[in-house]
Every structure is written in C-alpha cells, then in structure tokens.
Amino acid sequence: MENVVRNDWTIAEIESIYHKPLLDLVYQAATVHRQYNAIGEVQVCTLLSIKTGGCPEDCAYCPQAARYHTDIDVHALMKKEEVLEYAAKAKAAGSTRFCMGAAWREVRNNKDFDRVLDMVKGVNELGMEVCCTLGMLTEEQAQRLAEAGLYAYNHNLDTSKEHYSEIITTRTYDDRLQTLDNVRKAGVSLCCGGIIGLGEKHADRINMLHTLATLPEHPESVPINALVPVVGTPLQHNQKVDVWDLVRMIATARILMPKAMVRLSAGRTDLSVVEQAFCFMAGANSIFAGEKLLTTPNPSFDDDNAMFQLLGLQPREAFKNETQSCGHHHHEQQAVEATA
Ligand code: SAM
Ligand code: DTB
Ligand code: SF4
C-alpha cells in the first residue's frame, strides 16, 4: 500500500479521509508527508500581477473581473524590464519560483503574448522557476511558453464541477480541463488547485480533490486558497474560512497526492503563526511570499522569515525536481549560473 502514488482514488475513500477526526487526519498527512518529502522544506514563490484588472470573465471571487466595481489599480501589461526587476528582488529575498499573472480570459497570439514570452526567457535566465497564469491556452501556446523556458503553468479548477456554474458562468469546467491537458502535452509542470470559502459544501471540496487526484498525472503543485473576500465582488460578504477546514483540505490533498507541493496560498494574512504551523504539519510545503499576492495583501518577507526561523523551516532550492519533470534547458541554465 505505502509508497504508491495512486490515481484511482474513489469519492468514498476521499470522503472518509476528509472527515476523519482532525488529529488523526493531520497525523496521517504528516506521516505521508515525511515518507515522500524533505521535512521542513518549504518552497517560496513570489507572485506578480503583470496585467491587472479589466478581465471579461465573471469569476465571483475575483477583484479583477471588469464587471465588478472593486478598488484595484488597473494596469496594462507591464514592461519586461520592470518585471525582471521584481523577479530579481524576489530572488534576492529568497524566492525560487516567480509566477506572473495576467487578468486574461485566454492567451491571444499577439504582441502582448510575445512580450510575456520575453519575460519568461528573462526570468528563466535569472535561474528561477518561471510560472505563468494567463487563463486558457491552446496546445501551441503552451508549446511556445515551454520553448521560452516556462517551468510551470498555474490554472486552477477552483471548485467542484457541480459548484462551478455558481461561481463562473463565462467558461466551463471542461474548458479548464482542456487547458490542463494542453499544458501537460507541452511538458510543462502543472500547478492546479482551488479555493475554499466560495459557499461550497464539503462534498464539493471532496469532488474537486477527486478530480485533481485522478488526473492521469497529479499536478506537481496544488495551491489551496482561502477566499480573500474583496469589496465589490459578489462574494464580498462570504464568511471567513474556518482554519480547521483549511487544515482538512491541505491534509487530504497531501494524502491523495503525496509528491505534490501543496501550497498554502491566498488567505495567510488572516492566519496566526500557530495556524500556519498546523498547515505545515498537515503537509503544506509551499507558500507565496511578498507583500502582495496579485492585488490583495500577503505577509511581509520579514514576517515570513521570522516564521521560518521559529518553525525551523528551510526554503526549497530551485529546480529540485528537475530529473522527474520537464525541460532540459533549465539544467543548462543552472550550469551557466554555477560557472558564472
Ligand atoms: N485569469 C487567469 C485565470 O483565472 O486562470 C489567471 C489569474 S487568476 C487571478 C488566478 C487564480 O487566483 C484564480 O484561479 C483563483 O484561484 C485565485 N483567486 C483570485 N481571486 C481570489 C480571491 N479573492 N481569493 C482567493 N483566490 C483568488
Ligand atoms: C493561486 O492559486 N493563487 C494565486 C495564484 N494561484 C495565481 C492567486 C491568489 C490571488 C488572490 C487574490 C488577489 O490577490 O488578487
Ligand atoms: Fe479573470 Fe482570472 Fe479573475 Fe476569473 S480569476 S475574473 S479569469 S483574472
């Protein structure tokens, strides 16, 4: 049984894991985590919103949807030089993965995409794992990103197939799955997870985890976001996520997808160090660092450094899984760095 990564989980199995008594669940998750991952090692990623707001989609949680009236700093696609400056700063502060987000429904084959490809090249040359989240992609676009040096692509399922239409009506669950497939075909590492606190039932969380854990290959990283309710969005008055629900979600993801990086994502500003420690115990091994996520606040580098010190956590080096995943050009990059 042990040491086998499974893609054939049933809903019933996942249900019984998710609903275990909390301390049993955390103990099991911590045990699995120790079997498969370097204990105390946490990946530090930095996000940058390279194109903010004005999105045509209607994702009910999102401050960047043009149709909601939110107080964000809308801006067109940033200049490459500016983005590389941010990336270099993030690297200096200890981040090994840099993720660029654009409020697009989908990528179009235009000048903006060419500019993003240049950014990807530039960040890769800094020796960081480059990630993008740009909305829907075709297989060809995924391929072009891969050729530019893209390491990972983030595209979340967000919630269950059943709950999806309550949250988003401008695209379907199958659209999402199609992009995930296109990313996989290009040999790019997959980052795919969801949000809790959207008004979903426990069954929806279980169903979403089931979809993720039964993909032909598990995503290499699984972000678990707690809704950040933003004034002006339809979900602005949603109840704050219960930290124990977050812990359950992380622990279940860890047990189902033992080798994935499970990322404690949006919502950390509302968590104490004690609460975050529980999430790490439950198998979270990745965070977003830096004052801002895309548009909402996040703990400061200083606060996170203090937390890492206190809990004895170590930042994970870049490209650690290289041999298991894609892209030999990253190896060359590392070699260049080493001899520079
Ligand atoms: N537009 C692209 C897309 O939707 O795929 C990429 C950017 S989008 C902002 C990336 C992810 O951020 C969403 O899939 C969602 O999971 C997360 N997100 C957005 N707003 C959030 C919020 N208020 N709270 C928590 N997560 C949020
Ligand atoms: C993910 O799962 N969470 C990040 C990243 N992937 C792109 C985004 C969180 C956004 C939170 C709301 C905001 O800051 O705008
Ligand atoms: Fe647009 Fe992405 Fe926000 Fe949805 S989550 S509104 S697609 S930026």
Confidence at residue 246, expressed as pLDDT on a 0 to 100 scale: 98
- Does the beta carbon of 64 lie inside 6 Å of ligand 3? yes
**Structural domain includes residue 170:** yes
**Whole-number percent of the chain with pLDDT over 90:** 91
pLDDT computed for residue 328 by the predictor? 40
pLDDT level of residue 321 (50, 70, 90 thresholds): confident
Lowest mean pLDDT among 70-74, 94-98, 281-285, 328-332: 328-332
* Identity at 17, one-letter amino acid code: I
Structural domain for 123, as ranges: 11-312
Q: Is 59 a catalytic residue?
A: yes
Residue 322 included in any domain: no
Q: Among 52, 108, 133, which is best to mutate for testing ligand 1, by the most ligand atoms less than 8 A from CB?
A: 133
Query: Residues 259-273: pLDDT tens digits?
Result: 999 999 999 999 999
Please give the Cα distance from 294 to 36 (Å, whole number). Answer: 31
Please give the average per-residue pLDDT across 125-140, as a whole number. Answer: 97
User: Which residue, chain included where needed, has tokens 């988003």?
Assistant: 168
- Kindly state the average pLDDT of the residues 48-58: 98
pLDDT number for residue 2? 53
Q: Which of 45, 132, 191, 279 is catalytic?
A: 191
> Within a domain: residue 4?
no
pTM above the 0.85 mark?
yes
**Rounded to whole angstroms, how far apart are CA atoms 11 and 252?**
12
E strands along 186-338, which residues?
A: 189-191, 194-196, 221-226, 261-264, 286-289, 314-315
pLDDT band at 3 (very low <50, low <70, confident <90, very high): low
330 in any annotated domain? no
Q: Tens digits of per-residue pLDDT, 197-236?
A: 999 999 999 999 999 999 999 999 999 999 999 999 999 9
188 in Cβ contact with 152 (< 8 Å): yes
CATH number of the domain to which 292 belongs: 3.20.20.70
Mean pLDDT (the chain) is 94
What is the bridge-based pairing of β-strands 221-226 and 261-264?
parallel
Residue 278 predicted with pLDDT over 60 = yes
How many structural domains comprise the chain?
1
Structural domain includes residue 337: no
Query: Contact at 8 Å (CB) between 158 and 212?
Result: no
Q: What's the pLDDT at 208?
A: 98
Task: State how far the Cα of 248 lies from the Cα of 86, in Å rounded to an integer.
Answer: 34
Query: Contact, 66 vs 55, CB < 8 A?
Result: yes
Burial 253-290 (b: 16+ CB within 10 A, else e): bbbbbbebbbbbbbbbeebeeeebbbbbbbbbbbbbbb
Would the CB of 195 count as within 6 Å of ligand 2?
Answer: no
Locate the ligand 3 atom nearest the alpha carbon of residue 58 and give its number: 6
